[in-house]
C-alpha cells in the first residue's frame, strides 16, 4: 500500500491548480489505462485529479465544417451522438468499435488522445480528419500532437479540453483486431476532404505509433478508390513486429485495411 489522494475538480483551472500543488499528480478520466497501470506499479502517483465532472469538457457541437467533442466525452457518448453520426458517420462507427461496452462507457476521448497508445483507434481518425487538439492553454494540430509511442506534444499538467475534427466529404475506417487484446493490429482511417485533399491515418502498426500514409494519400488524391493503392507498399522497417505479427505482415495488413476502409466509405459500421 502507498498513500494516494483523490481530488475531484469542478473546473479546468481547479484541475490545473490541484495538479500543480501535488508532487506527482495524474489526471483521471475513465481510468481504463491509468488505473491498471498504477495497479501494476508501472506508474505511481500521490494525487489523482478527477476530470470527469468538469462541465467545460463536455458536449458535442457542429459549426460549419467542424465537429467539436469535449475532452471528457466517453466513447459511448460519442458513438451514440446524433451530431457525430450526422457529421462524420465513420467516426461514430470507429468509436463504437473501441473495446467493449464497459470500456466505451468509461474511456474518454481526452484520455485516449493524451495516452496515445500505439494501438488506440482515435489517433488514426485525428490524423485523417485533420483534427485540432484543444488544451487549457493552446491548440495543437494532430500532425504535431502524436510524437512517439505513448508520447504527445502535451506539456506537464496540460489538459486536453476538446478535439475538433474537420468534417470530410466522405470517410471510412477498417481495422484488424488483435485476437487477444482486441485493439487494432492495423487500423486505417481514410478521409476525402471538401478541398479535394485526401488524408490516411494509420494506427496499431507503426513503430513510432500512429502515422499518416503519405504515399497512399497522393495516389488517392488522383483516384479515390482501392485501385489507386495497387503497387503501393509500406516499408516493413517502419512497422512494429511482435509475437502477433511480423513487420512484413503488418505492412501488408495496413494496405488491406486501407482497401477495406475505401470500400466502407460513409458507413455507420466500422469494418472489423
Ligand X SMILES: Cc1cc2nc3c(=O)[nH]c(=O)nc-3n(C[C@H](O)[C@H](O)[C@H](O)COP(=O)(O)OP(=O)(O)OC[C@H]3O[C@@H](n4cnc5c(N)ncnc54)[C@H](O)[C@@H]3O)c2cc1C
Q: Which stretch binds ligand X (CB under 6 A): 60-68, 97-105, 241-249, 255-263?
A: 97-105
Q: What does the longest C-alpha to C-alpha distance in the chain come to? A: 60
Binding-site string for ligand X from residue 10 to residue 29, where x marks contact by CB under 6 A and - marks none: ----------------xxxx
Contact (CB, 8 A) for 110 and 57: yes
Q: Which is nearer to ligand X, 115 or 252 (CB)?
A: 115
Of 104 and 192, the one with the shorter C-beta distance to ligand X is 104
How near is the Cβ of 106 to ligand X at its closest, in Å?
6
Q: Nearer Cβ to ligand X, position 157 or 236?
A: 157
Query: Does 198 contact ligand X by CB under 6 A?
Result: no
Q: Is 51 left (phi over 0), alpha (psi -120 to 50) or beta?
A: alpha
111 binds ligand X (CB under 6 A): yes
Site stretch for ligand X (CB under 6 A), options 115-123, 213-221, 225-233, 246-254: 115-123
Rounded CA separation 171/91 (Å)? 8
Output 24 or 227, the one with its CB closest to ligand X.
24
Distances in whole angstroms, Cα of residue 220 to Cα of each of 107, 121, 176, 232: 33, 22, 21, 11
Under rule CB under 6 A, residue 265 binds ligand X: no
Residue 171 near residue 198 (C-beta atoms within 8 A): no
Stretch that binds ligand X, among 31-39, 124-132, 238-246, 263-271 (CB under 6 A): 31-39
> Cβ atoms within 10 A of the Cβ of 134, count?
21
130 versus 185: smaller Cβ distance to ligand X = 185
Binding ligand X (rule: CB under 6 A), the pick from 12, 114, 140, 265 is: 114
Selected range binding ligand X among 85-93, 101-109, 227-235, 254-262, rule: CB under 6 A = 101-109
Q: Which of 18, 34, 127, 200 lies at the binding interface for ligand X (CB under 6 A)?
A: 34
Closest CB to ligand X among 15 and 229? 15
Name the residues that contact ligand X, by CB under 6 A: 26-34, 51, 71, 75, 98-99, 103, 106-108, 110-112, 114-115, 120-122, 159-160, 182-183
Amino acid at each position: 500500500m502507498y498513500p494516494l489522494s483523490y481530488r475531484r475538480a469542478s473546473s479546468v483551472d481547479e484541475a490545473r491548480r490541484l495538479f500543480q500543488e501535488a508532487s506527482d499528480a495524474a489526471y483521471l478520466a475513465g481510468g481504463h489505462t491509468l488505473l491498471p497501470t498504477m495497479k501494476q506499479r508501472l506508474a505511481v502517483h500521490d494525487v489523482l485529479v478527477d476530470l470527469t465532472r468538469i462541465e467545460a469538457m463536455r458536449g458535442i457541437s457542429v459549426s460549419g465544417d467542424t465537429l467539436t467533442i469535449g475532452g471528457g466525452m466517453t466513447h459511448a457518448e460519442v458513438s451514440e451522438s446524433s451530431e457525430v453520426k450526422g457529421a462524420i458517420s465513420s467516426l461514430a462507427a470507429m468509436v463504437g468499435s473501441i473495446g467493449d461496452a464497459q470500456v466505451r462507457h468509461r474511456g474518454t476521448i481526452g484520455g485516449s488522445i493524451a495516452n496515445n497508445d500505439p494501438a488506440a483507434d482515435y489517433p488514426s481518425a485525428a490524423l485523417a480528419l485533420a483534427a485540432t487538439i484543444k488544451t487549457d492553454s493552446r491548440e495543437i494540430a494532430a500532425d504535431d500532437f502524436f510524437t512517439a509511442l505513448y508520447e504527445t506534444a502535451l506539456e506537464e499538467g496540460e489538459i486536453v479540453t476538446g478535439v475538433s475534427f474537420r468534417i470530410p466529404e466522405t470517410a471510412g475506417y477498417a481495422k484488424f483486431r488483435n485476437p487477444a487484446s482486441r485493439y487494432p493490429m492495423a487500423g486505417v482511417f481514410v478521409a476525402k476532404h471538401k478541398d479535394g485533399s485526401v488524408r490516411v491515418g494509420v494506427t496499431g502498426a507503426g513503430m513510432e505509433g500512429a502515422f499518416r500514409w503519405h504515399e497512399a494519400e497522393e495516389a488517392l488524391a488522383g483516384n479515390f478508390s482501392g485501385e489507386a493503392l495497387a503497387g503501393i507498399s509500406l516499408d516493413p522497417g517502419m512497422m512494429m513486429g511482435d509475437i502477433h505479427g511480423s513487420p512484413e505482415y503488418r505492412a501488408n495488413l495496413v494496405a488491406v485495411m486501407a482497401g477495406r476502409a475505401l470500400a466502407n466509405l460513409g458507413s455507420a459500421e466500422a469494418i472489423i
